[in-house]
Structure 1
Amino acid sequence: MDIDELIELVKLHGKSIYGFCYKLTGNKEDADDLYQETFLRAVELRYKMDASRNPKAFLLSVAILLHKNNRRKLARRQRIAPVTELDDTAAGSGSLASQTTPEHAVLSLELRALIRDAAHRLNDKLRLPLYMYYTANMTVEEIAAALRVPPGTVKSRLHKARQALRKELEVDSL
C-alpha cells in the first residue's frame, strides 16, 4: 500500500475513525492525539495493510492498541507519581439548534451524559465492541476481525454491554 492509497483511506474512513477515537478517549484533545497516532502508525505499518481486507478494521484495531498502551502508561505514571486532575465540566458537544425547547435540549444533554458515563464505566471487552458497532458503524464480522475474536463472542459482548447499560440506567432513573 502506497501513500496515495493511505490518503484515500483517510478520506474514506477518517471521520468514523475520529468518532471512534473520541468515544474511546472522551475528550477532543486526546481524540486528536489518538487519531494522529493511529494514522502515523498506519503509515509505518502500511506494508502490512491490505486494502482488500477491510482497512477500516485494521485502523480501528491500531487505535485500540494505541489507546490501551496510552492508558497503561498513564496508570504506571499515576502509580509512580499520583496527580489529581481538575474537574472539567464542559458542556456537551454538537449543535442542538434542531431542538424545540431549552428544556428538551437540557434533558437531551443530560441523557447523553448519563449514557456516555455508563458506557465509560464498562470494561474494555464490553465497551470496545459497543463503540465500534454504534459509533464506527461496523458489522459484527468487521468487529470480530478487528478484535481478533469470533463473531459469536462479539454478539455476546454487545448483548452483555446493552444489558449492563440498561441495568445501570434503570437504577439511575429511580
Structure 2
Amino acid sequence: MISDRQLVEDYRSGQQAGLERLIGRYRDDLFRFCCHLSLDRQEAEDLFQEVWVRVLRKLEKYDPERPFKAWLFQVTVNLHKDRYRQWKKLRERLTLAWTDDNSKHREPGDGAPLTEDFLLKKEEFLYLEQCLRTLPKRYLAPLILFYYEEFSYESIGEVLDVPLGTVKSRLNQGKKLLKAAMGGRDYEAING
C-alpha cells in the first residue's frame, strides 16, 4: 500500500491521482467525523467539502513527519471551530436527535428482516448520540476522536492542539458528564 506521505508527494509533483487516492482513503472516516461535529447531514456535507478545499490550499504546509489523518482531522476541527463561531444558533441544535442517516450503525441490507436485538441496539445508539450532543464542545471532540475514530491520546492532542494532560482531563470529565447525561448508564455497554 502506498503511504500517505508518498500520495502527498505525488500530488505536490502534479499527479492528481495522489490526491484522489488520499480522498478515497479518508472519505468515510472524515465524513463520519464531520457528521459527529456538525449535527445534521447537510452541514456535515458542507464541512466535508470545505475541509478538502482547505486541505488543497494548505497541503504545501503539511509536514510529512506527522500522520496525515491526524493533520486532516486537525484541519477539520479548526474549520469547524471557525464555522461554529459564525453560527451563534448552533448551540440550540445540540438537543435535536440525529436522523438515521447520521448514524454509523446501518440497518441490515438486502431486505433482511430487522431483529429485535438490532432495533434495541439502534435505539440505544441514537440515545447515546442525543446524550453526546448535550455535552459542552470541549468534551465532545475528544470523546468522538477516542471512541469513534480510535485515536490515541497523543493523536487527539495533535488534532485539538492541546497538551496530553488536557486530553486526559477532557476525556475523563467528558466520560463523567456523558454518564450523567445518560442517567448513570455506561457508554461502553451501549457502544460495545
> Structure 2 length as normaliser, TM-score?
0.73
Partner of 1:28: 41
Inter-partner Cα distance in structure 2 for 1:65 and 1:145? 12
1:97 is aligned to 2:137: no
Distance in 1, matches of 2:20 and 2:113, equals 40
Unaligned runs of 5+ in 1: 79-83
Instruction: Give 1:1-174 correspondences, 5 Å limit.
Output: 1=8, 2=12, 4=15, 5-75=18-88, 90-91=99-100, 93=103, 94-97=105-108, 102-170=115-183
CA shift for structure 1 position 107: 2.2
Q: Does the 8 A contact of 1:17 with 1:136 survive in 2?
A: no
1:40/1:52 CA distance change after superposition, 3 Å:
same
Whether contact under 8 Å (1:21, 1:31) holds in the other structure is: yes
* CA-atom RMSD in angstroms: 2.8
Relative to structure 1, is the Cα distance of residues 97 and 40 closer, same or farther in structure 2, using a 3 angstrom cutoff?
Answer: same
CA separation of 1:105 and 1:74: change in aligned 2, threshold 3 A = same
Specify the code of the residue in structure 1 equivalent to 2:106: S
State the Cα deviation string for residues 136-156 of structure 1 (Å, max 9, x = none): 221111111111111121112
Which structure exhibits the higher relative contact order, with contacts defined as CA atoms closer than 8 Å and separated by 6 or more residues? 1
Letter in 2 for 1:97: P
Q: Percent identity?
A: 26
Paired residues of 2:39 and 2:98 also in contact (CA < 8 A)? no
Give the drift of 1:90.
4.2
